[in-house]
């Protein structure tokens, strides 16, 4: 297979990403898919498979809001829709409309809204009039609310006609929640309720042709309004009243009834028309819209949450069985609060008093409250997203009575992912992030046969730290699984897998784990506990588990510094967030002191005997590379060469050379000599200014002493270390369109010295190049090898990262002959970890 004949394709196997920690970020659509913002990507996940299906590129700032057209509220209208639409708004005020074709599951960027807001979008809400007609409203921190009329495409790929009906200037206190409804009485009038950074609900009314006017203010809450949601009429035929539910930072939920009193011609009679129910014991304001008058009254006050209530949502209407067009609006409300609970509220049948009938929540030490709660279209499941960027889902599996049980959901980092690495035998991927966690993702083989049997999940969270984590290196070689991590501190920390993880890993793989059971017997640590300050993780020993359970810390007193004990167990199915956050920690075995600044880069040699580390530096003495001996964890070397931060290091595949690249635009190659008695000798054989800007990435050829460097100057260069210990420039790839941030070289055919180089860019895009090294006939020991290169894959932007790629890593494969299928892991500033399968023909 020559370079030019290489044909390859890549497909996405897995995406992990956390949810942006902001209200109104999540939407559950009538398509039964959930959308959310993951940094500046719009991520789409399927609740049934618990997998993120894709991410949509287009936003240049963090995504604040997403909203489906139609949303779960209008699912009863959307059973036979061929296309669904999605609105997303970001922190710069940009709003984008996307189209999903149900056939083929294909996404399309339809348009970016004109006259977008000048500041961040805070809320998007919509009302579906018909399959191709919707009204939606958007609010922003710039103090404006826009109302839009959208004529959606009638054919796939068609044009969308947008009309801005009204731009309302609210003032200095922006609105953070909106809800749209058609006013009762088939009047053709539209109501827009909005709430924000004061304690009033503002109601605006208008017609489809435009001009919305403020109808009234509704007072009652004692703090900022956080969420509003109009119900549909209780039955599709009865249209004299609708309900509005509101929640606030005053911890209360209020239900308001909006009733049609009559036309203005009947004003004398309006007070006598229709009896107001006993529950509406406070008569509210009367307002005029068009030629009709309406009254708002307080229907009920719901007290039960102990903290701010961030979200309230009516249960989606259900289709009336007899008539396909009719619907029924259930009297049921879902609320989500910062008190870590979601509640379902329903009126009692006899008294009509609203009661809390279901409470679910996360009681773990790590959960810090919920930002939003959402119904599934069929109302059998509820979903929350929280402060930790995590999702929590419960499903009602009860037959005669409610029984809400936790369900699997996608998980991932909620801040930039800084480093990634494969386990020595490829059983799992380890990633670290500025969200202060390290996470392990693995394929779970013994799944139910209907779920394709090989989906990836987060199976452990070995480190939960108090500082942003910048780098990690998995220790290769024999023995237990270990890794070293470096955070925004001067100490590198070493972690070792506990017995509970080894047994869980055994469950995940259909074949025998690489860590046999007789070696597991030597591991005496079952798991780890978090310390009060969140920096060190203390081991839980196998023989001490019963004692820990019998004697809780602090004699049962709940103080600010008390941390509940973890109970590590062997997992037989992919864990949910509550288990991951607390019970899957690895114990810390060593701390490596020496660096003068925060750690920035780590790498391990292929034998598992040396670890190299570097830190942030602005002088030559601080920019030293430290070498640590695995096992004793003694410092055995301090390599001086660079004057600024060393950004990445890598050992050659025979472990004889160490390559380092730096912010000072230079690379260094060190010769590592290993003597007897674990003695290490090293010397600098080459230092060269290789690029015009910072060098971010480097990678060795697995079959020789050639290496690649990638830089902010948008170039990738190939170099060769000769037998005379000099380094020669062999090839420069054509300039890329943006800074090259990550490189990874994998071997395909050792006899022909053929491999692939993955290139990750600041824009998030990925390319894969085929590299072929020609070494001549071997008679001339001084001859310089030649390298030929050709691009074979430019990944589709919908498969790539949406922000800078931070690291790439090919899965290790032992058989280098005629390898046709490879796996490439990547991580980036868009909070995501991605896995691709690359197939070579």
Residue-wise pLDDT tens digits, 182-224: 888 777 889 999 998 888 999 999 888 778 898 888 988 999 9
Res 92: pLDDT? 92
DSSP state at residue 579 = H
Cα separation, 182 vs 189, in Å, equals 6
pLDDT classification of 562: cutoffs 50, 70, 90? very low
Does residue 396 surpass a pLDDT of 70?
yes
**pLDDT tens digit sequence for 283-335:** 667 888 877 888 888 989 999 999 999 999 999 988 765 455 577 888 999 99
In the chain, the N- to C-terminal Cα span, in Å, equals 9
Res 132: pLDDT? 83
Strands 429-433, 437-444: pairing is antiparallel
Lowest mean pLDDT segment, chosen from 184-198, 753-767, 787-801 = 184-198
Name the token pair of 90: 């970001």
What are the strands, taking DSSP E only, across 481-570?
482-487, 492-496, 525-530, 537-541
**pLDDT tens digit sequence for 439-488:** 999 998 755 545 555 789 999 999 988 899 999 999 988 888 999 999 99
**pLDDT tens digit sequence for 806-824:** 999 999 876 545 568 899 9
Cα separation, 478 vs 472, in Å, equals 18
Among candidates 330, 341, 395, which has minimal Cα distance to 373?
Answer: 341
Q: CA dist 414 to 33, 385, 722, Å?
A: 20, 12, 44
Res 701: pLDDT? 92
Judging by beta carbons within 10 Å of its beta carbon (0-12, 13-18, 19+), is residue 533 exposed, middle or buried? exposed
Strands 695-700, 680-689: pairing is unpaired
Q: What angle do CA 813, 814, 818 make, to 5 degrees?
A: 80
DSSP state at residue 430 = E
**pLDDT tens digit sequence for 710-738:** 999 999 999 999 887 789 999 999 999 99
Q: Per residue in 542-558, is it b (16+ CB within 10 Å) or e — as a string?
A: eeebeebeeeeeeeeee
**pLDDT tens digit sequence for 687-697:** 999 999 999 99
**CB neighbours of residue 752 within 10 Å:** 13
Lowest mean pLDDT segment, chosen from 96-105, 185-194, 501-510 = 501-510
Interacting residues of 638 by C-beta distance below 8 A, sequence separation 6+:
624, 625, 626, 627
Cα separation, 807 vs 421, in Å, equals 9
Name the token pair of 590: 């060593």
Q: What angle do CA 370, 375, 379 make, to 5 degrees?
A: 145
The number of residues making up the chain comes to 841
- The share of the chain scoring above pLDDT 90, in percent, equals 53
Cα separation, 17 vs 827, in Å, equals 10
Mean pLDDT of the chain: 85
Res 802: pLDDT? 93
Name the token pair of 461: 């969270």
Cα separation, 830 vs 841, in Å, equals 31
Res 518: pLDDT? 47
Res 266: pLDDT? 55
Res 1: pLDDT? 35
DSSP state at residue 71 = B
pLDDT classification of 553: cutoffs 50, 70, 90? very low
Identify whether the C-beta of residue 62 lies closer than 8 Å to the C-beta of residue 20.
Answer: yes
Identify whether the C-beta of residue 206 lies closer than 8 Å to the C-beta of residue 163.
Answer: no
**Partners of 311 in the beta sheet?**
336
Q: What integer is the mean pLDDT of 577-581?
A: 83
Cα separation, 415 vs 78, in Å, equals 35
Lowest mean pLDDT segment, chosen from 191-195, 452-456, 669-673, 763-767 = 452-456
Identify whether the C-beta of residue 149 lies closer than 8 Å to the C-beta of residue 132.
Answer: no
Among candidates 108, 88, 90, which has minimal Cα distance to 99?
Answer: 108
Interacting residues of 324 by C-beta distance below 8 A, sequence separation 6+:
none
**pLDDT tens digit sequence for 81-93:** 888 999 999 999 9
In degrees and rounded to multiples of 5, residue 383 shows phi and psi of: -130, 135
More confidently predicted of 620 and 564: 620
Name the token pair of 465: 């730290």
Cα separation, 715 vs 734, in Å, equals 7
pLDDT classification of 366: cutoffs 50, 70, 90? low
SS3 at position 725? coil
The owner of tokens 């997992």 is 571
Q: Where are the alpha helices (DSSP H) in 514-645?
A: 517-520, 545-550, 577-583
Res 259: pLDDT? 87
Lowest mean pLDDT segment, chosen from 194-208, 389-403, 420-434, 563-577 = 563-577
Edge-to-edge order in the sheet of strand 241-248: 225-230, 241-248, 252-263, 292-303, 286-289
Res 446: pLDDT? 55
Res 244: pLDDT? 94
Res 552: pLDDT? 42
Cα separation, 516 vs 511, in Å, equals 11
Does residue 277 surpass a pLDDT of 60?
no
Q: Where are the alpha helices (DSSP H) in 402-470?
A: none
What are the strands, taking DSSP E only, across 18-82?
27-28, 34-38, 41-46, 51-56, 63-69
Name the token pair of 268: 């004398």
Q: Is 453 left (phi over 0), alpha (psi -120 to 50) or beta?
A: left
- The share of the chain scoring above pLDDT 70, in percent, equals 86
Cα separation, 731 vs 568, in Å, equals 52
**CB neighbours of residue 66 within 10 Å:** 26
pLDDT classification of 146: cutoffs 50, 70, 90? very high
Res 447: pLDDT? 53
Cα separation, 736 vs 739, in Å, equals 7
């Amino acid at each position: 297979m020559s370079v030019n004949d290489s044909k390859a394709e890549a497909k996405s196997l897995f995406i992990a990403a956390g949810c942006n920690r902001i209200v109104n970020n999540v939407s559950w659509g009538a398509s039964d898919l959930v959308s959310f913002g993951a940094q500046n990507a719009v991520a789409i996940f399927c609740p049934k498979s618990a997998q993120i299906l894709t991410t949509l590129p287009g936003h240049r700032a963090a995504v604040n809001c997403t909203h489906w057209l139609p949303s779960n509220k209008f699912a009863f209208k959307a059973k036979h829709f061929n296309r669904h639409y999605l609105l997303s708004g970001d922190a710069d005020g940009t709003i984008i409309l996307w189209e999903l074709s149900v056939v083929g599951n294909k996404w399309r960027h339809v348009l970016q809204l004109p006259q977008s807001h000048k500041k961040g979008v805070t809320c998007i809400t919509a009302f579906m009039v018909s399959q191709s007609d919707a009204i939606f409203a958007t609010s922003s921190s710039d103090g404006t609310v826009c109302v839009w009329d959208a004529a959606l495409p009638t054919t796939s790929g068609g044009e969308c006609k947008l009309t801005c009906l009204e731009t309302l200037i609210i003032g200095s206190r922006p609105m953070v929640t909106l809800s749209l409804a058609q006013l009762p009485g088939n009047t053709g009038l539209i109501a827009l309720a909005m709430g924000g950074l004061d304690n009033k609900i503002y109601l605006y009314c208008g017609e489809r042709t435009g001009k919305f006017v403020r109808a009234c203010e509704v007072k009652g809450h004692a703090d900022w309004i956080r969420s509003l949601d109009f119900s549909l009429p209780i039955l599709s035929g009865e249209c004299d009243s609708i309900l509005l539910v509101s929640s606030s930072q005053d911890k209360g939920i209020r239900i308001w009834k909006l009733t049609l009193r009559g036309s203005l011609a009947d004003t004398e009679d309006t007070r006598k028309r229709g009896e107001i129910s006993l529950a509406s014991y406070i008569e509210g304001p009367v307002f005029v819209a068009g030629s009709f008058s309406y009254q708002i009254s307080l229907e009920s006050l719901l007290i039960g949450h102990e903290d701010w209530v961030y979200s309230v949502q009516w249960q989606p209407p259900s289709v009336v069985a007899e008539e396909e067009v009719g619907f029924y609006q259930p009297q049921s409300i879902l609320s989500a609060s910062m008190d870590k609970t979601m509640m379902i509220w329903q009126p009692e049948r006899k008294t009509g008093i609203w009661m809390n009938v279901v409470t679910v929540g996360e009681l773990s030490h790590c959960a810090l409250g919920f930002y939003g709660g959402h119904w599934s279209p069929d109302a059998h499941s509820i979903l929350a997203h929280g402060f930790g960027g995590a999702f929590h889902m419960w499903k009602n599996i009860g037959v005669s009575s409610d029984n809400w049980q936790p369900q699997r959901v996608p998980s991932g980092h909620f801040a930039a992912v800084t480093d990634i690495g494969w386990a020595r035998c490829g059983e799992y991927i380890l990633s670290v992030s500025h969200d202060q966690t390290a996470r392990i993702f693995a394929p779970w083989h013994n799944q139910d046969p209907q779920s394709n049997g090989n989906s990836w999940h987060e199976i452990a969270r070995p480190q939960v730290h108090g500082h942003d984590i910048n780098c990690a290196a998995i220790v290769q070689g024999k023995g237990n699984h270990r890794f070293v991590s470096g955070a925004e501190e001067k100490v590198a920390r070493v972690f070792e897998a506990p017995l509970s993880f080894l047994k869980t890993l055994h469950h995940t793989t259909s074949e025998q784990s690489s860590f046999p059971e007789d070696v597991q017997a030597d591991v005496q640590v079952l798991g780890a506990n978090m310390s009060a300050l969140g920096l060190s993780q203390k081991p839980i020993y196998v023989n001490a588990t019963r004692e820990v359970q019998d004697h809780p810390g602090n004699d049962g007193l709940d103080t600010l510094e008390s941390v509940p004990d973890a109970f590590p167990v062997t997992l037989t199915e992919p864990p949910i967030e509550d288990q991951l956050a607390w019970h899957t920690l690895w114990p810390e075995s060593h701390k490596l002191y020496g660096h003068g600044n925060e750690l920035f880069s780590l790498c391990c040699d292929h034998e598992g005997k040396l670890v190299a580390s570097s830190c942030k530096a602005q002088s030559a003495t601080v920019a030293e590379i430290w070498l640590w001996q695995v096992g004793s964890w003694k410092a055995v070397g301090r390599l001086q060469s660079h004057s600024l931060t060393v950004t990445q290091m890598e050992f050659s595949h025979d472990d004889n050379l160490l390559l380092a690249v730096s912010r000072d635009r230079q690379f260094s190659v060190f010769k590592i000599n290993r003597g007897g008695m674990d003695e290490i000798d090293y010397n600098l054989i080459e230092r060269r200014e290789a690029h015009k800007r910072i060098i971010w990435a480097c990678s060795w050829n697995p079959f020789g002493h050639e290496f690649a460097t990638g830089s902010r100057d948008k170039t990738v260069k190939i170099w060769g270390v000769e037998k005379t210990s000099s380094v020669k420039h062999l090839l420069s790839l054509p300039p890329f369109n943006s800074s090259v941030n990550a490189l990874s070289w994998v071997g395909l055919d050792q006899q022909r010295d053929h491999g692939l180089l993955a290139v990750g860019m600041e824009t998030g895009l990925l390319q894969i190049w085929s590299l072929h090294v020609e070494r001549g006939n071997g008679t001339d020991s001084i001859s310089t090898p030649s390298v030929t290169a050709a691009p074979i894959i430019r990944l589709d932007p919908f498969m790539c990262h949406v922000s800078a790629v931070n690291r790439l890593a090919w899965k290790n494969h032992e058989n280098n002959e005629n390898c046709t299928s490879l796996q490439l892991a990547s991580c980036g500033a868009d909070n995501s970890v991605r896995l691709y399968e690359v197939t070579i023909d």
